[in-house]
Amino acid sequence: MASGARPKVTIVGAGMVGGATAQWLALRDYADIVLVDIVEGLPQGKALDLMQAGPVLGFDTNVIGSNGYDETAASDLVVITSGIARKPGMSRDDLLKTNMGIVRSVTQQVVAQSPNAVIVVVSNPLDAMCHVAFERAGFPRERVIGMAGVLDAARFRTFIALELGVSVKDVDALVLGGHGDTMVPLSRFSTVAGIPLPELLPVDRIAALEQRTANGGAEIVSLLKTGSAYTAPGASIGAMIDSILLDQNRVLPCSVLLRGEYGIDGLYVGVPVKLGVGGLREIVQLSLSDDEQAALRRSADAVRDLVEAMQRIDAAE
């Protein structure tokens, strides 16, 4: 980043999640944004609309929309939200094959323009797409990170606060594992004003909140019917961008490539990490109970199944 210049953030995919991310980041007013999408006019229109909110809300963020990658050159951070949602009748492998191709293409193009960027992957299936981006980018693991745990923890925190009638500001929660129904909400490490959750709620209520958290995305999809969550995902991506570009060293649950940590090797799995300039600073290792460790392994196995499915798809081509 040039001295005195604002950080530059590229968001690939100007759909609902990409647009929400750009909005949250623009309001923070410390980085300039490039919105990229293959749909002509979409990123340009969203960029212009967002710029016109600046005089009203008091931010000077420069937002550029583009259908190509030249404008993304020398980005400090790249968010990849591109990909399609699973449609009725579509198999898991069909979804994987399509999104593998999209994420590979996007990664190759952003890396060519921004070889020193940190990449934050949001495309689904999240943990599998992290593998795709990591392999295509050729970056160290510190600079390819998946956004899921911040969102999952935010959902858990919301449900805890609603259950207890307390402010979400006083609720901290931790969710490990892959982004999906095998995620592992850790109630033992979740607190309200420092008080462990198991001291505030009975086991059955905690189990219900954990289950609702694991199904958090599906619940919203079933309500919206024609889309999926975007406001909370955008805010969660914003929290990660803040921690990285502002060097906040926040400890946030993120999907990172484990190399023996938590007894898992060679897989992207959600764990608590410290984020600062350059991306991943440290993986925070917790002492898990046997049950918690077993749940995390099951979640990692679900990620491994996706990675092996992608390998079969590649081998068949």
Q: How many domains does the chain have?
A: 2
Kindly list the catalytic residues.
179
Instruction: Output the pLDDT for position 4.
Output: 62
Residue range 110-126: mean pLDDT, rounded:
97
DSSP bridge partners of 32? 8
Written as six digits, the tokens of 262 are 């938590």
Tell me, yes or no, whether 300 and 174 share the same domain: yes
Contacts of 56 (CB under 8 A, 6+ apart): none
Q: What is the pLDDT of residues 159-195, one digit of tens each?
A: 999 999 999 999 999 999 998 889 999 999 999 999 9
Q: Is residue 33 part of a domain?
A: yes
Q: Where is pLDDT greater, at 270 or 87?
A: 270
- Contact present, 184 and 177 (Cβ < 8 Å): yes
Which residues 6+ apart lie within 8 Å of 116 measured at CB?
74, 76
Measured distance between the N- and C-terminal CA atoms of the chain, rounded to whole angstroms: 40
**DSSP-assigned letter for residue 235:** H
The Cα 153–Cα 124 span in angstroms is 18
Q: How far is CA 131 from the centre of its chain?
A: 14
Same domain for 208 and 140, yes or no, is no
Total residue length of the chain = 317
Task: Give φ, ψ of 120 to 5 degrees.
Answer: -110, 115
Domain assignment of residue 29, given as a range: 8-146
Core vs surface per residue 25-41: b (16+ CB within 10 A) or e: bbeeeebbbbbbbeeee
User: Is residue 316 domain-resident?
Assistant: no
Query: Which pLDDT score, from 0 to 100, does residue 248 have?
Result: 98
Asked if 74 and 112 touch (Cβ cutoff 8 Å), the reply is no
CATH number of the domain encompassing residue 99: 3.40.50.720
- Contact call for residues 273 and 284 (beta carbons, < 8 A): yes
Show which of 85, 117, 146 is a domain's final residue.
146
Q: Give the whole-angstrom CA distance, residue 79 versus residue 88.
A: 27
Same domain, 303 and 181: yes
User: 3-class SS at 267?
Assistant: strand
- Domain shared by 65 and 189, yes or no: no
Q: Same structural domain for residues 96 and 193? A: no
Q: Residue 317: inside a domain, yes or no? A: no
Say yes or no: 238 and 99 in one domain.
no
Q: What is the CATH number of the domain that holds 155?
A: 3.90.110.10
In a domain, residue 3? The reply is no
List pLDDT tens digits, range 188-235: 999 999 999 999 999 999 999 999 999 999 899 899 988 899 999 999
pLDDT at 307 over 60: yes
Mean pLDDT over 137-148 rounds to: 97
Look at residue 289 and tell me if it is in a domain.
Answer: yes
Q: Which residues contact 137 (CB under 8 A, 6 or more apart)?
A: 107, 111, 119, 143, 144
> Is-contact 302 178, C-beta < 8 A?
yes
Task: From 146, 173, 207, give the residue that closes a domain.
Answer: 146
